[in-house]
């Protein structure tokens, strides 16, 4: 299996509001940046989308180290998701799991790979996290500008 590192981040200008996501894929010396945005979204949705898009870009099963500064994503996929599945996608507080469609998509794309999940502290000088943070923020700004221009 090929070994890949994926660094991800999401950003939102307002929550909800215009948002952006970014993923940096690295295999050896090769790197690829992915990014995009949505008009009316949340930070958690953008964090999840970044991981989904990064994993979806891999064309064959890989050994992957995923790095995210989102406790929501890391804890969700490593701790909470099995309980949600058992309880029919209902939380401990008896409410439907938020972003369930994205959790289903993440489970699907993650299942193709051998993944180790890593939480990194955001805005703490981690070079790749700072890089994807800037890309995601730039995308959120772009979406916000497009919304303003359309008004």
Strand partners, 4: 64
Active-site choice (88, 123, 125, 151): 123
Per annotation, catalytic residue among 20, 36, 37, 47: 47
pLDDT score recorded for residue 149: 87
> Tens digit of pLDDT for each residue in 2-25?
999 999 999 999 999 999 999 999
Q: Are 53 and 6 in contact (CB under 8 A)?
A: no
What pLDDT score does 110 carry? 98
What's the confidence (pLDDT) of residue 54? 98
Round the average pLDDT of the chain to a whole number and report it.
96
How far, in Å, CA of 9 to CA of 30, rounded? Answer: 20
Quick check: is 9 catalytic?
yes
Q: What is the 3-state secondary structure (H, E, C) of 48-107?
A: HHHHHHHHHCCCCCEEEEEEECCHHHHHHHHHHHHHHHHCCCECCCCCECCCHHHHHHHH
pLDDT tier for residue 30 given thresholds of 50, 70 and 90: very high
Average pLDDT of the residues in 30-47: 97
Active site residue 69: yes
Place 45 in a pLDDT band, splitting at 50, 70 and 90. very high
Q: CA of 140: how far to CAs of 12, 97, 130, in Å?
A: 6, 25, 15
Q: Tell me, what's the pLDDT at 5?
A: 98
Domains of the chain from N-terminus onward: 2-150 (3.30.420.10)
Q: What is the pLDDT of residues 78-121, one digit of tens each?
A: 999 999 999 999 998 999 999 999 999 999 999 999 999 999 99
- CB atoms near residue 58 (< 10 Å): 17
Q: What are 118's two structure tokens?
A: 């890593």
- The pTM assigned to this predicted structure is 0.96
Is-catalytic flag, 133?
Answer: yes
Active site residue 123: yes
């Amino acid at each position: 299996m090929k070994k890949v590192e994926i660094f991800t981040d999401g950003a939102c200008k307002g929550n909800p509001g215009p948002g952006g996501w970014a993923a940096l894929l690295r295999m050896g010396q090769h790197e690829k940046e992915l990014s995009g945005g949505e008009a009316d979204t949340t930070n958690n949705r953008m964090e999840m989308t970044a991981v989904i898009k990064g994993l979806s870009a891999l064309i064959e099963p890989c050994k992957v180290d995923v790095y995210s500064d989102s406790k929501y994503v890391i804890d969700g996929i490593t701790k909470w998701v099995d309980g949600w599945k058992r309880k029919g996608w209902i939380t401990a507080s008896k409410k439907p799991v938020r972003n369930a469609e994205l959790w289903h998509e993440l489970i699907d794309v993650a299942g193709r790979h051998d993944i180790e999940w890593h939480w990194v502290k955001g805005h703490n000088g981690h070079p790749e996290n700072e890089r994807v943070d800037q890309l995601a923020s730039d995308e959120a700004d772009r979406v916000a500008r497009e919304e303003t221009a359309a008004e």
